[in-house]
Amino acid sequence: MKGPGLLIVLLVVLGGVSGLGFLLGLGNAAILAALTALFCLIAAVGGPLWADLRLLAWFAPSLVLAVGAPRLLGQVSQWAAIGLLVVIVVVAGLLPVLGARFVTVGLGLGMASLFGYGFQLTGTASAGQILGAPALAVGVVILLRILMGAKDPAKPTREALADAIAAGTAETQERAARLWLADRPRRWTGRVLGGMFRYRAATGLLEIRGKHLDSAEIARTLDAAKEEAVRLADVVRTPKATDGVEPVRRMELVQLPGATARLVAALWDSLETIRSAATERDESHVDVPKGLRQELRRIELSGALSWRSPQFRHALRCGLGVALALVVASFRPGDPLTVSFLLATFAIMQPDWHDSLRKAWQRIGGSLGGAVVLALVLWLLPQGFLLPIGLAALLGGFSVMRTRPTIFNGCMVLMSVGMNATTKHLDPRYVLVEYLLLMVLAGAIALLFGFAAIPGVPKPGPAERFGTAVEATRTLLGSVGRKLRGDNVDPRTLGREFRAAAVAQHGLLAAEPGTKEPAPGQRDALENAAEALRGLSVTASSLLLRPGSAGAAAAVGEAARALGTEEVAEIPVPPDADEEQRLVLDTIAADVVALGEAARLVRAA
């Protein structure tokens, strides 16, 4: 959601929650409820309706406890409250290992807990009011999420599928597969997903063959197929089946080697599969292997809960940095800028130390820019204008929080200084100087722990991390292939290999302090490689949940052999494969091709 629509939602959330809070007797905690709702909203939107509601089923009570419990515990023991907050922040730092969807979930949980602890109420509030505030916030957000998605609950899934068909990056493919699995999987979207994977695999292989053969015909075919893919993506986006969709306009080629001709036929057949699925729209449910979602979570978490996991080390660094910030804040009780200081420290720390440096610059640079604007406001306008300007900055800042982080940070200066100076009758110039000093201190603390090298942890470069992740995944696929053939593979060995592959995949994107920053092309390639390798681990797990077959074993073995190479490798699909097994094998083929392209870019940089 962007632009005016997001602003309307923010106004509804802030106004509705605060108004309901006062009506329900929350008193001063009504403002806490309204602002907590914004953090809940960050995590509540991002997937199809049913998937988001399942997520909120556990996130909502977690958020209530994360916001209320540290504040209540702080009334008994400040140090116990700090310890609980550190634990919450560490958990929030681990959540992104569950996938890109959980990045905002971890961000919302961590920021809401720190906000709930540091927010200064204008009066007293009972324990019921403090717990009731976040409970009201999540209740309103859940209701709002239902209203936002009730008309078209599967829209995000269709949009993700359409984006994957039209764009075809590893990131869009992985997002489409995850949303399809998280939603109520329908047969027609499953056929679209399978056709998309076959199309992307055929496209990648033909691009490689086109370079080897120097064939203009292949290039023209790929261009024509991309035009058809964009047209079909628009068909997939529509909420209802569309009549009269033209069949795929094929460009037939002559005088091509047999294997290339088969790939061209597969390319057009995959697009025709997408067209027929999107027009027929079989809404019956797909029989997803039982326990696949739980297996996916188990694989990802097993890799994260290890000292060798960069995400785990980041979560610990984040907890230590926030602990220091909380100790510093404890020496300034009642300071209205404590919330801004704590949130800035948490937001700057990122898994990759280069990203932490970038966030620090965005925070401090944006704050300086906001300070210049605020100085002009104080010079040109009466102080009474600070409060409405601060509220407008709050709404405008949240609407660009993800797209324009520097502007967002500048807006937060206007909001924090303007509101605190007005409501607490403080000198805005003094508050502004204090705010800037706290932002510099927050950046220093975050970078201290973001740059802190942990003794004994190696510092491999991008190419070495890529090679380690590929080799760990190849070993895993080899064992899965033997298991599918009926060989005796120790389940404990499989478990260790799943864990090692997950750890290596997490390490692709989280560089240790002191390592060389990836080149721009390398960074994108590493992100695509991480998505493809995670996809291969998931599909391998799904094959183990189904009865084994020689055809599936052969496909996994071929994938393991070609993994991370730039050679042309076709993943065989058994003639007797059912629709679900074909989808899994098509996914493997697309991931292998994406990984081959990533290997070329990583090694070339």
- Contacts with 376 (C-beta within 8 Å, 6 or more apart), sequence order: none
DSSP letters, 144-174, are HHHHHHSS-TTHHHHHHHHHHHHT--HHHHH
Which comes out higher in pLDDT, residue 257 or 179? 179
pLDDT tens string 512-566? 655 666 666 677 777 778 878 887 877 777 777 666 666 777 878 888 887 776 6
pLDDT tens string 208-250? 777 766 667 778 888 888 888 888 888 888 888 777 778 888 8
Q: How far is CA 13 from CA 31, 50, 103, 145, in A?
A: 11, 21, 22, 11
Which comes out higher in pLDDT, residue 68 or 15? 68
Which H/E stretch holds residue 117? Answer: helix 101-118
Please report, rounded to a whole number, the percentage of residues in the chain having pLDDT higher than 70.
84
Under 8 Å between Cβ of 192 and 275: no
Among the listed residues 526, 538, 408, the one whose alpha carbon sits nearest the alpha carbon of residue 171: 526
Which comes out higher in pLDDT, residue 151 or 420? 151
Instruction: Please determine, for residue 58, whether its predicted confidence score (pLDDT) is greater than 90.
Output: no
Per-residue pLDDT averaged across 594-605, rounded? 73
Helix (H, G, I), strand (E, B) or coil at 186: strand
Under 8 Å between Cβ of 82 and 326: yes
pTM for the whole structure: 0.79
Phi then psi for residue 186, to 5 deg, are -100, 155
Q: Which two tokens stand for residue 285?
A: 């449910």
Identity of the residue numbered 383: Q
Under 8 Å between Cβ of 40 and 112: yes
pLDDT band at 65 (very low <50, low <70, confident <90, very high): very high
Instruction: Please determine, for residue 89, whether its predicted confidence score (pLDDT) is greater than 90.
Output: yes
| pLDDT for 326 | 93
Q: How far is CA 488 from the centre of its chain?
A: 37
Q: How far is CA 497 from the centre of its chain?
A: 25
Continuous H helices in 386-544: 386-399, 405-423, 428-450, 462-485, 491-507, 520-544
- Contacts with 4 (C-beta within 8 Å, 6 or more apart), sequence order: none
- 241: alpha, beta or left? (left if phi > 0; alpha if psi -120 to 50): beta
Instruction: Please determine, for residue 603, whether its predicted confidence score (pLDDT) is greater than 70.
Output: no
Under 8 Å between Cβ of 340 and 435: yes
Specify the DSSP class assigned to residue 518: P
Q: How far apart are CA 425 and CA 427, in angstroms?
A: 7
Q: Which two tokens stand for residue 139?
A: 């209740």
Q: How many residues in total does the chain contain?
A: 605
| pLDDT for 569 | 63
pLDDT tens string 370-395? 888 888 888 877 777 777 887 788 77
- 297: alpha, beta or left? (left if phi > 0; alpha if psi -120 to 50): alpha
| pLDDT for 458 | 58
Helix (H, G, I), strand (E, B) or coil at 377: helix
| pLDDT for 88 | 94
Task: Describe the crossing of helices 170-182 and 155-166 by its angle, rounded to 10 degrees.
Answer: 160
Q: How far is CA 336 from CA 110, 340, 342, 417, in A?
A: 19, 8, 11, 9
Instruction: Please determine, for residue 120, whether its predicted confidence score (pLDDT) is greater than 80.
Output: no
Longest dimension (CA), the chain: 83
Helix (H, G, I), strand (E, B) or coil at 577: coil
Q: For residue 285, what are the β-bridge partners?
A: 186
Specify the DSSP class assigned to residue 285: B
Under 8 Å between Cβ of 247 and 223: no
Per-residue pLDDT averaged across 61-70, rounded? 90
